[in-house]
């Protein structure tokens, strides 16, 4: 899986390139038409039935001395000596005694109606989290993707970020069908003490049917009425998730997935920029998230104080991102910390339920999780309208490829009057071209006089030079909304159009994969047919919509007609196939529409000529 920073991702560059290119085309047509005329937070506690009540407070007990270290120990059934401590210890200290613990690693599965979570008793960590309502080529989407160095999630390290996680075998107990507890007795060496201090360590995971959010309770209980012996430079433990979230993706340029790191603090969403070393936000967020195009992981600590640390490698197809939370030293003998995590789709219906305590099993409220969604786009209302119409077509014909084509047909029908007006304006400009050329030749050395004469000429003829350009500008926001819709609409993920060729409208199609070969400079790994069809349709579009030119404007028009499609071929090679299906359908419909308009113009000219002859 690749973790691609959004700032430098191909997706944003593609949108900018397409937008600028369309603006250049639009302005170019206007310039040619004018001067070179043409014809065209308060959360319910996590259920922890065996959790002891918290005891002690900062005013009652002091924090354990800094430098405490948790030691590993062998289970009681193992005769071999205990493993070496995780941190160097004084020779006078005793080795940890054997404890009751399993002798072999074992996995445990919790099933809900929408999740399948797999845990290992080695540290009580998550190793797989599958979404039963969402599939990819390998089956259910797994939102936990093992990395090359650390294959577990929600690891606890007794120390600051960078401390080795606790991976001892733990006792597992199913409290009920949706709740599992991992526990073990651990020992800590405390400076100034010869005897090791035992304490109980538990992790309790709790799930609910119908929810992508689940809870984790970290329970610590000192056997003595003293502060928990967990203090390394002011940190009791670090809870880490890493190294990355799923689903597994391949390097597919602007058509692939993206990754962003977001935090929500002080009532605002903020995107964290990538850094070359571990970094922490300058505020303590309500929640932190790693988001993709369709799925997100959100961590919601229920702690008064904690430090969030992000670690991200350099951008590449194997890029990884880790998120860790350092919990301060605990001035009590017993502590239960509650954490919540959302692993699921980026859908408002699943995220917004945690703003209302009566809509979720954990009675959480005011979490504002829907802020992970990109709703800042000013064209969002237009995009939502297009999405609504496309989904209506899908209900009639359950194929999103067909829905895209039907949506394109509807848009072309609605904008036909504007398109006809634009073509009529271009035809009118062609009629006025000879007289305009005379004016331009007469006042070529006096630009001010030239503009004045042209303005008077336009007024006399009743012609607005912007009339051919404005319809194109009106349609420009629609194009941008279409691009965003086809690039991010959740329902297009995994939606097949033509089986065997276009199996997923949210991804680029492929007719031949190059294997391990990659085209130099371009980075292409597949031969794609849709971009080639797009170029052909765009060239035909230019042929049918542009009229013959002469002189300088002819060479400029030829450059626009042939150069732009070729440039767009490279820009759009790796975009989602849904976008190219739309663009190709749009070109074909525009050609048909232009043929109708051309016949209309011929009839209009014939009537105008007959009227002049009759006078």
Condensed to tens digits (0 to 9), the pLDDT of residues 569-592 reads 888 888 888 889 998 998 898 888
Identify the residue with better confidence: 237 or 519.
237
For the whole prediction, is pTM greater than 0.85? no
Asked whether residue 1 is assigned to any structural domain, the reply reads no
Q: How many CB atoms lie within 10 A of CB 280?
A: 14
- Does residue 209 register a pLDDT over 90? yes
DSSP 429-492: HHHHHHHHHHHHHHTTT-HHHHHHHHHHHHHHHT--TTTTTHHHHHHHHHHHHHHHHHHH-GGG
Asked whether residue 302 is assigned to any structural domain, the reply reads yes
Model confidence pLDDT, tens digit, residues 215-233: 999 999 998 888 999 999 8
pLDDT attached to residue 44: 40
Asked whether residue 106 is assigned to any structural domain, the reply reads yes
Asked whether residue 373 is assigned to any structural domain, the reply reads no
- Does residue 174 register a pLDDT over 70? yes
- 389 lies in the same domain as 492: yes
CA 573 – CA 498 distance, rounded (Å): 19
- 405 lies in the same domain as 433: yes
- 124 lies in the same domain as 172: yes
Model confidence pLDDT, tens digit, residues 31-73: 444 444 433 343 444 544 333 333 333 333 356 677 667 765 5
Identify the residue with better confidence: 161 or 488.
161
Among 372, 491, 472, 368, which Cα is nearest to 421's? 472
- Does residue 8 register a pLDDT over 50? no
Phi, psi for residue 555 in degrees, rounded to 5: -65, -40
Model confidence pLDDT, tens digit, residues 512-552: 878 778 788 777 778 899 999 988 888 887 776 665 555 55
The DSSP 8-state label assigned to residue 60 in this structure reads: T
- 191 lies in the same domain as 311: yes
- 195 lies in the same domain as 218: yes
- Does residue 556 register a pLDDT over 70? no
- Does residue 245 register a pLDDT over 90? no
- 96 lies in the same domain as 215: yes
Residues 122/167, Cβ–Cβ less than 8 Å: yes
- 286 lies in the same domain as 416: no
- Does residue 80 register a pLDDT over 50? no
**Average pLDDT across the chain, whole number:** 77
Provide the residue range defining the domain that includes 334: 69-364
Q: What value does the mean pLDDT take over residues 142-155?
A: 70
- 355 lies in the same domain as 421: no
Q: 28-32, 324-328, 442-446: lowest mean pLDDT where?
A: 28-32
Percent of the chain with pLDDT over 70: 72
Asked whether residue 184 is assigned to any structural domain, the reply reads yes
Asked whether residue 386 is assigned to any structural domain, the reply reads yes
Per-residue confidence band for 19, with pLDDT thresholds at 50, 70 and 90: low
Model confidence pLDDT, tens digit, residues 348-357: 999 999 999 9
Percent of the chain with pLDDT over 90: 32
Identify the residue with better confidence: 291 or 33.
291
Asked whether residue 52 is assigned to any structural domain, the reply reads no
- 356 lies in the same domain as 488: no
Asked whether residue 174 is assigned to any structural domain, the reply reads yes
From residue 615, alpha-carbon distances to 516, 604, 611, 612 in Å are 75, 17, 7, 5
Phi, psi for residue 321 in degrees, rounded to 5: -135, 135
User: Considering 364, 390, 419, which residue would you say is the last residue of a domain?
Assistant: 364
- 391 lies in the same domain as 268: no
Q: What value does the mean pLDDT take over residues 453-479?
A: 73
pLDDT attached to residue 396: 94
User: Considering 364, 392, 420, which residue would you say is the last residue of a domain?
Assistant: 364
Q: What value does the mean pLDDT take over residues 426-430?
A: 71
pLDDT attached to residue 79: 30
In the chain, the number of structural domains is 2
- 95 lies in the same domain as 126: yes
CA 227 – CA 60 distance, rounded (Å): 10
- 200 lies in the same domain as 344: yes
User: Considering 314, 338, 364, which residue would you say is the last residue of a domain?
Assistant: 364
């Amino acid at each position: 899986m690749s973790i691609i920073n959004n700032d430098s991702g191909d997706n944003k560059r593609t949108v900018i390139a397409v937008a600028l290119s369309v603006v250049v085309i639009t302005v170019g047509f206007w310039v040619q038409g004018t001067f070179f005329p043409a014809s065209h937070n308060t959360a319910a506690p996590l259920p922890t039935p065996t959790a002891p009540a918290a005891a002690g407070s900062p005013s009652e007990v002091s924090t354990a001395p800094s430098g405490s270290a948790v030691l590993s120990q062998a289970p009681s059934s193992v005769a071999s000596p205990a493993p070496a401590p995780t941190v160097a210890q004084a020779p006078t200290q005793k080795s940890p005694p054997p404890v009751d613990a399993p002798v072999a690693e074992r996995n445990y599965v919790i099933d809900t109606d929408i999740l399948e979570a797999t845990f290992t008793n080695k540290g009580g960590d998550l190793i797989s989290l599958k979404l039963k309502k969402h599939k990819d080529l390998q089956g259910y989407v797994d939102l936990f993707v093992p990395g090359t160095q650390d294959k577990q999630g929600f690891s606890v390290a007794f120390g600051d970020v960078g401390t080795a996680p606790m991976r001892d075998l733990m006792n597992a107990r199913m409290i009920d069908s949706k709740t599992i507890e991992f526990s073990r007795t651990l020992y800590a060496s405390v400076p100034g003490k010869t005897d090791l201090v035992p304490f109980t360590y538990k992790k309790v995971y709790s799930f609910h049917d119908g929810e992508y959010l689940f809870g984790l309770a970290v329970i610590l209980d000192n056997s003595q009425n003293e502060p928990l012996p967990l203090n390394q430079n002011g940190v009791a433990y670090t809870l880490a998730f890493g190294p990355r979230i799923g689903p597994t993706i391949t390097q597919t340029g602007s058509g692939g997935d993206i990754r962003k790191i977001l935090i929500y603090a002080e009532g605002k969403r903020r995107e964290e920029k990538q850094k070359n070393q571990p970094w922490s936000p300058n505020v303590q967020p309500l929640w932190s998230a790693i988001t993709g195009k369709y799925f997100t992981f959100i961590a919601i600590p229920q702690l008064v104080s904690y430090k969030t640390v992000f670690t991200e490698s350099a951008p590449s197809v194997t890029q990884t991102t880790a998120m860790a939370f350092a919990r301060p030293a605990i001035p009590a003998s017993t502590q239960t910390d509650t954490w919540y995590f959302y692993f699921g789709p980026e859908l408002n219906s699943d995220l917004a339920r945690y703003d209302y305590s009566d809509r979720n099993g954990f009675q959480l409220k005011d979490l504002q999780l829907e802020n992970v969604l990109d709703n800042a786009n000013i064209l969002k209302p237009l995009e939502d309208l297009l999405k609504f119409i496309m989904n209506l077509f899908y209900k009639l014909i359950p194929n999103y490829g067909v829905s895209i084509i039907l949506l394109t047909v509807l848009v072309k029908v609605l904008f036909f009057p504007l398109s006809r007006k634009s073509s009529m304006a271009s035809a009118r400009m062609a009629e006025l071209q000879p007289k305009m050329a005379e004016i331009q030749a007469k006042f070529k050395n006096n630009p001010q006089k030239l503009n004045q004469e042209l303005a008077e000429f336009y007024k006399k003829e009743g012609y607005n030079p912007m009339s051919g350009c404005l319809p194109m500008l009106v349609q420009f926001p629609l194009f941008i909304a279409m691009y965003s819709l086809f690039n991010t609409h959740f329902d297009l993920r995994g939606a097949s159009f033509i089986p065997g060729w276009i199996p997923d409208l949210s991804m680029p199609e492929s007719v031949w994969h190059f294997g391990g070969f990659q085209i130099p400079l371009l980075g292409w790994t597949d031969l794609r047919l849709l971009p080639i069809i797009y170029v052909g349709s765009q060239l035909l579009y230019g042929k049918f919509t542009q009229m013959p030119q002469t002189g300088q404007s002819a060479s400029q028009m030829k450059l626009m007609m042939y150069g732009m499609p070729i440039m767009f071929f490279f820009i759009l090679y790796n975009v989602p196939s849904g976008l190219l299906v739309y663009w190709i359908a749009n070109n074909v419909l525009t050609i048909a529409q232009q043929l109708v308009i051309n016949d209309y113009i011929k009839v209009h000219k014939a009537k105008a000529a007959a009227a002049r002859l009759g006078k």
